Amino acid sequence: MTTEVDYYELLEVERSADDATLKSAYRKLAMKYHPDKNGGCKDHEAKFKAVSEAYECLKDPQKRAAYDRFGHAAFKNGASGFGGGGHGAQDFGAFSDIFESVFGEFMGGRGGRPNLRGADLRYDMEISLEDAWHGRSSEITVDVSGVCDSCSGSGATPGTQAHACKQCNGHGKVRAQQGFFMVERTCPVCHGAGEVISDPCRDCRGEGRTDKTKTLKINIPPGVDEGTRIRLSGEGEAGARGAPSGDLYIFLHVTRHPLFERQGTSLFATAPISFTTAALGGEITLPGLDGEKHVIKIAPGTQSGREVRQRGAGMPVLQGRGRGDLVVRLEVETPTKLNARQRELLEAFRATETGEECPQTSGFFEKLKKAVAG
């Protein structure tokens, strides 16, 4: 005895599902189980036929009403061609439109031409951090397939022209009946172009494009970052036989800077300061990417690793207003070369130390004593 699966369960929808929900569910399952996508798997083929049968019934208001009332029995004994009576060709009359809408894009579309548009190209370009800050104009040289000058991209010898392919009548596709389905394939004669060139251009051999070297001007805006992509429309590979050209994408790579490190719109720098400046306070001057000199104030008692933020001294905001910040990390440098007078002064300072000058140091040793005593 054959088990009859509920149509709604097959489509994985509620019984109250509207037409849009039914169609969406069917499209999803049909794409999943279509034999062309599953290597001729018998189980998937059976599943595909089952969901197709379910949708064919439920998309028709009269058939759906009958099914909701009587179930599969509504179509037995030759009532509508479903169930034990099998499917007649008339049952799939409307299904061909659904098949076309589901697989039209996958198979190339009804009477559609293949995409002869030229390929997009990539160009990697290195710039300095200063270039990223200021922006700049630059020229690059790229080798691409350009429109053939002899035939102006037509692919035919000047004075001649292509004619419609007789095999596909200019559609670029040929159709073949396979069971209940009409399958489209690329025309084997014109290879999808829809046209046949009897006398191809000698320079491009009928392609409509030849290898060329182009020099292009690029405008790099201020604020670009690592990986920023600039698109030059129509500057990629030329399309075959006069089809539109692809695009050229410039990927920017910012070289390492000796002083600054960038994070977003912020600039980070590490600056060494003397231990006397750290203790007494003072200031240092850093040259910015903007060409200005930025004075960094240092508070008395500054510890190594402290960060000082200079508002508005960072990178420009790409295609926006304002700038990020400059963050300077201060590293206190211990002197390694002392003359006799400096050593004398430091010895005198050490003789006057009480421990309160460096609370973190004295606090650490107090904790250490307690830990050992405990």
d(CA 45, CA 36): 9
Is 201 annotated in some ligand binding site?
yes
Is 168 annotated in some ligand binding site?
yes
Give the SS3 label for residue 22.
Answer: helix
Is 165 annotated in some ligand binding site?
yes
Pairing of strands 248-254, 229-232: antiparallel
Task: Quote the tokens at residue 233.
Answer: 């429309």
DSSP state letters, 99-167 = HHHHHHHHHT-TTPPP--PPPPEEEEEEE-HHHHHH-EEEEEEEEEEEE-TTTTTS-BPTT---EE-TT
d(CA 255, CA 302): 32
C-alpha dihedral (74, 80, 85, 87), degrees to nearest 10: -130
Is 57 annotated in some ligand binding site?
no
Is 358 annotated in some ligand binding site?
no
d(CA 117, CA 268): 45
Q: Are 96 and 183 in contact (CB under 8 A)?
A: no
What's the length of the chain?
374
Bind-site residues: 148, 151, 165, 168, 187, 190, 201, 204
Bind-site residues for Zn(2+): 148, 151, 165, 168, 187, 190, 201, 204
